[in-house]
Amino acid sequence: MSALTGTTRLARLVLRRDRIRLAIWILGTPLLGYALAGSVAGIYPDQEARLGYATTSASSLVARAFNGPIHGTDLGAVVVAETYVTLALIVALLSTFAVTRHTRQNEETGRAELLGANVVGRYAPLTAALLVIVVANALAAVLLAVALVGAGLPLAGSVAAAAAIGGVGVAFTAIAAVTAQLSVTSRGANALAAATVGLSFVLRAAGDVLGEQSADGTRVRSAWPSWISPLGWGNQVRAFDGERWWVLALPVALLLAGVALAYALAERRDQGAGLIAPRPGPSTGAPQLLSPSGLAWRMQRGTLLGWAVGVAVLGFSMGIAGDEFNDMIDANPAAAEAINAMGGGADLIKAYLAAMLGLFALTIGAYVVQALLRVRGDEADGVLEAALATAVSRTRWLGTQVLAATLGAVALLLLAGVTTGLGYGIVTGDPLGEAVELGGAALLRLPALLVIAGVVTAIFGLLPRWSVVLSWTTLLVFLLLGQLGAVLELPQAALNVSPYTHVPAVPAADPAALPLVVLAAVAAALLAVGVAGFRHRDVPS
C-alpha cells in the first residue's frame, strides 16, 4: 500500500462534506469581487477622481496600513486597493479553517482513526484535503478573473489580481497544513494559523507604511517586511500596473515547501498526536475560578482580549485618520456629504467621530451576541446541565452571563472611545481631553448594547433552539437599518426598530437622557422576559 492510497476516495469525501461551503466560497468570492468593483467604479468614475484617490492613498499612512500600497491610477488599481485586503483575509481564513477541518479535526474527533483502519495511506488524508482546497482556491480565482473582466477591467490586470488572491489562499493552505501537524487540537491548529494570518497582516502593514511614495505621487514601493508576508505578495504582483507575474511563484513555492514539511512532520508523529505537547494546567481550581462569575470571566477573557486589541488598534487608527480626514473633505465634497448623512451634524469632523463611535457600537454589538450565545453553546454541549444540577439557580447563572457580557461591552466601548480620542488628540494636540470626551461619548452607546443583550436573552429564554440564528439575524437587521436605512429611504418607523437609531450621535449631537432611559427600560423588560422564560423551561431543550 502506498502512502497515498485512498486519496481520491478521501477527496470525494471532503467534497461531499463541504459541498455547500465550497460552493459558497467558489461562487461568493467572485460575486463579492464583482459587486465591490462595480461600486468602486461608481465612486471613482473618471481619471481626476482616481488621481485624487491614488495620491491620498499613497500619502496616507492609515490607507497604506489598511488598504496596502496603491499602484497607479488605473480603475483596476483603485479596485485592488479598495478590495484586496478584505478578499485576501477572507480567502486566507477560509483556506486555514478548511485545512484544519479536514485534517486535525478528523484526528481529534477520532474520525481519522475510523478511516485509517480502512485502506488509506499515511499521507492520503492530508493530500486529499490540500488537493480539494487548492483546487477550490484556483477555481475561485478563475471565476474572480472572469468577474473582474465582466466588471469592465483589463484582462491582464484582472487575471493578475485574481491570481494574487488565489495565491494568498494557496499560501495559507500550506501554512495550515503545517500547523495542523503541530497542535493536538483543531482549535490550537486554527489559532496558530490565524495568528500567522495576523502576523502577515502586521508585517505587510509595516512594510507598506515604511515604503516610499513614487515621484509622481500615485504609487507606493513597499519596504522589505511586505515581502516576508504572504498577504503582501499579492500587492507586489502590481496588478493593472505592469504586472510582475514572477511574484506569483512565491505562493506556489510556499505550497510545495509547506506540503513537504507537513509530510515530514506527519511521518514523525503518531495519529492524533502533535509536535506541540499540550501544556499541563493547574491541578486544582484557583478560588477566584470557583463561582459562576469566576467561570464567566475565565471563559470570556480570551475573546475579550482579542476584541480589545482589535478595537484599540482600529480606534487609534480611526482617530489618527480623523486628521487626514480633515484634509480629505477639503478635496472631496461628495465624501463630506456622505459622512454628514451618517452622523448628521454641522461640524464635519465631529460627525466623522460620531459615525466612528456608532460603527464601534454596532461592532461591539457582535461581541455582546457572541458572549451571550455562549450560554446556548453550553446548553447544546451539555455543560449547562451539569452546572444547573449544582446549587446554582438559573437566575444567578443567566444573570452572571448577562452581567459579564455587559461589563465586557462597557470595557470595549470605553476603549474604543479613548483610543479614538487619543489617536485624534495626538495629531491635533490634546490627547487627554479628546480621550476623555470621546470615552464618555462612546459610553452613551451602552443602552443600545443593553437592548441587544436583552434581545438575545429573551430569545434564549423563550426560543432556545433558535438562539443562534435569531440573535445574529437581529443584529444584522440593526446593522442594515443603520447603514442602508437612509440610503434606501426607509420610513422612520422601520428605522426606529433599531436601538442604534435612538442613541444621540455624540459628539456631533447633544446628549439626551430620555432616549437612553427608554432604551434601558426596554432592555430591562427584555432581560426580565428572558430570565423568566429560562426559569420555566426545560434544560436542555
Rounded to whole angstroms, the Cα distance separating 2 from 8 reads 13
Candidates 146-154, 256-264, 418-426, 530-538; binding stretch for another protein (CB under 8 A): 530-538
Please list the residues that pair with 212 across neighbouring strands.
221
Does residue 390 belong to the site contacting another protein (CB under 8 A)?
yes
Which of 336, 392, 426, 490 forms a contact with another protein (CB under 8 A)? 392
By CB under 8 A, the count of residues binding another protein is 35
Which of 389, 493, 513, 514 forms a contact with another protein (CB under 8 A)? 389
Smallest separation, CB 468 to another protein (Å): 18
Smallest separation, CB 524 to another protein (Å): 24
The candidate with the shortest Cα–Cα distance to 524, out of 462, 450, 473, 464, is: 450
Candidates 44-52, 134-142, 383-391, 410-418; binding stretch for another protein (CB under 8 A): 383-391
Output the nine-digit C-alpha cell for 184.
493536538
Task: Kindly state the DSSP code that residue 299 receives in the 8-state scheme.
Answer: H
Does residue 436 belong to the site contacting another protein (CB under 8 A)?
no
Please list the residues that pair with 220 across neighbouring strands.
213
Rounded to whole angstroms, the Cα distance separating 492 from 502 reads 11
Which position has the grid cell 443567566?
398
| Three-state SS annotation for 243-257 | CCHHHHHHHHHHHHH
| Three-state SS annotation for 427-484 | HHCCHHHHHHHHHHHHHCCHHHHHHHHHHHHHHHHHCHHHHHHHHHHHHHHHHHHHHH
Does residue 388 belong to the site contacting another protein (CB under 8 A)?
yes
DSSP run (H or E) holding 423: helix 394-428
Output the nine-digit C-alpha cell for 62.
492609515
Residues 270-289 that bind another protein (CB under 8 A): 278, 280-286, 289
Candidates 33-41, 48-56, 134-142, 381-389; binding stretch for another protein (CB under 8 A): 381-389
- Alpha-carbon distances, residue 449 vs 5, 442, 460 (angstroms): 54, 11, 16
Nearer to another protein, 123 or 397 (CB): 397
Does residue 383 belong to the site contacting another protein (CB under 8 A)?
yes
Candidates 62-70, 234-242, 388-396, 493-501; binding stretch for another protein (CB under 8 A): 388-396
Smallest separation, CB 146 to another protein (Å): 43
Output the nine-digit C-alpha cell for 210.
515604511
Smallest separation, CB 390 to another protein (Å): 4
CB of 36 closer than 8 Å to CB of 55 = no
Smallest separation, CB 404 to another protein (Å): 15
Candidates 379-387, 422-430, 455-463, 481-489; binding stretch for another protein (CB under 8 A): 379-387
Torsion sign, CA atoms 360, 363, 365, 368: negative
No. of H helices and E strands in the chain?
Answer: 22, 2
Residues 290-329 that bind another protein (CB under 8 A): 290-292, 295, 298-299
Residues 222-281 that bind another protein (CB under 8 A): 278, 280-281
CB of 391 closer than 8 Å to CB of 288 = no
Rounded to whole angstroms, the Cα distance separating 488 from 485 reads 5
Smallest separation, CB 469 to another protein (Å): 20
Nearer to another protein, 392 or 426 (CB): 392
Output the nine-digit C-alpha cell for 525.
423588560
Rounded to whole angstroms, the Cα distance separating 306 from 319 reads 20
Output the nine-digit C-alpha cell for 189.
491548529
Candidates 7-15, 223-231, 232-240, 386-394; binding stretch for another protein (CB under 8 A): 386-394
Nearer to another protein, 282 or 333 (CB): 282
Give SS3 for 506.
Answer: coil
Does residue 386 belong to the site contacting another protein (CB under 8 A)?
yes
Smallest separation, CB 113 to another protein (Å): 12
Does residue 187 belong to the site contacting another protein (CB under 8 A)?
yes
Nearer to another protein, 152 or 285 (CB): 285
The candidate with the shortest Cα–Cα distance to 412, out of 343, 353, 362, 350, is: 362
Candidates 253-261, 328-336, 352-360, 377-385; binding stretch for another protein (CB under 8 A): 377-385
Side chain identity, residue 222:
S
Nearer to another protein, 269 or 298 (CB): 298
Smallest separation, CB 188 to another protein (Å): 10
Residues contributing to the site for another protein (CB under 8 A): 184-185, 187, 278, 280-286, 289-292, 295, 298-299, 381-383, 385-393, 536-540
